[in-house]
Structure 1
Amino acid sequence: ISRVGQQVTGVPAPGAADTNLTAAAGLPTLDGFGPGGGGAHAATEHVRLPTVSARAALLAAALHGV
């Protein structure tokens, strides 16, 4: 992942996802590969377009390393 110039750090995140189940079971869990934005599930929900390509590169690098 360092080859795309990004670092991955662990932080707790709110919300509901199946990743809560795997993390609770003690399994290393990654979530949050989507682009930045705000207003989740509201009329003002949006994506910050400049974050899309960087997040796609991060996901590709993670998958390539598997």
Structure 2
Amino acid sequence: MLIKILLICLLALVVFSLFQALFIMIKNDENSPKMSKFLGRRLFFSAAVVLLLIILLLAGVITPHPRPY
């Protein structure tokens, strides 16, 4: 259960970083942080989710569903 909560939090951070970059792009203020900062965070969190899923699958903590057919 803790793993699911961790994955949901990481995915929420991905979406949050994406919206932060959107607002920076729309605002277009020169004093605000660069949009690439937030997109880089989104990339980092996405990579963390994929890496965590691969590690959990290899460790046998989570198992994928069988084929649907």
TM-score bracket, normalised by the shorter chain, equals 0.3 to 0.5
Q: Which has the higher strand share?
A: 1
Q: TM-score, normalised by structure 1?
A: 0.34
Task: Identify the structure with the greater helix proportion.
Answer: 2
